[in-house]
Amino acid sequence: MKVLVTGSCGHLGEAIIRLLIDRNIEYSGLDLKSSKYTTHVGSLTDRHFVKDCVKGVKAIIHTALYISRILQQIVKLILLKQIY
């Protein structure tokens, strides 16, 4: 069985893929960014790209999340304890 994991570059996506690998389950990873576990680099908003990615897939685990640049900056400041 082949599993498609969206958000394969993120913490949750990578953790799930490592579990799939440990269980010898075939996977493909989809993300906007390239990573060790990403086999398809592109956007979920591109229906033709997604159609190609799901070929032969029996299950999809959706962990992708869009975070705007402003929200990324706010989270970074919170983590750096500059905003409370």
Spatial CA neighbour of 32 closest among 70, 54, 3, 65: 65
User: Is 38 part of a structural domain of the chain?
Assistant: yes
Phi, psi of 30 (to 5 degrees): -125, 130
Residue 8 belongs to some domain of the structure? yes
- 61 domain residue, yes or no: yes
Residue 84 lies in a domain: no
State pLDDT tens for residues 17-73. Answer: 999 999 999 999 999 999 999 999 999 999 999 999 999 999 999 999 877 777 777
Assign residue 24 a region: left if phi > 0, alpha if psi is -120 to 50, beta otherwise? left
CA–CA distance from 32 to each of 9, 46, 79 (Å)?
A: 8, 11, 23
27 part of a folded domain: yes
Number of domains the chain is built from = 1
| 74 occurs within a structural domain | yes
**pTM score, two decimals?**
0.78
Where residue 17 sits, what CATH number does that domain have? 3.40.50.720
- Enclosing domain of residue 72: 2-79
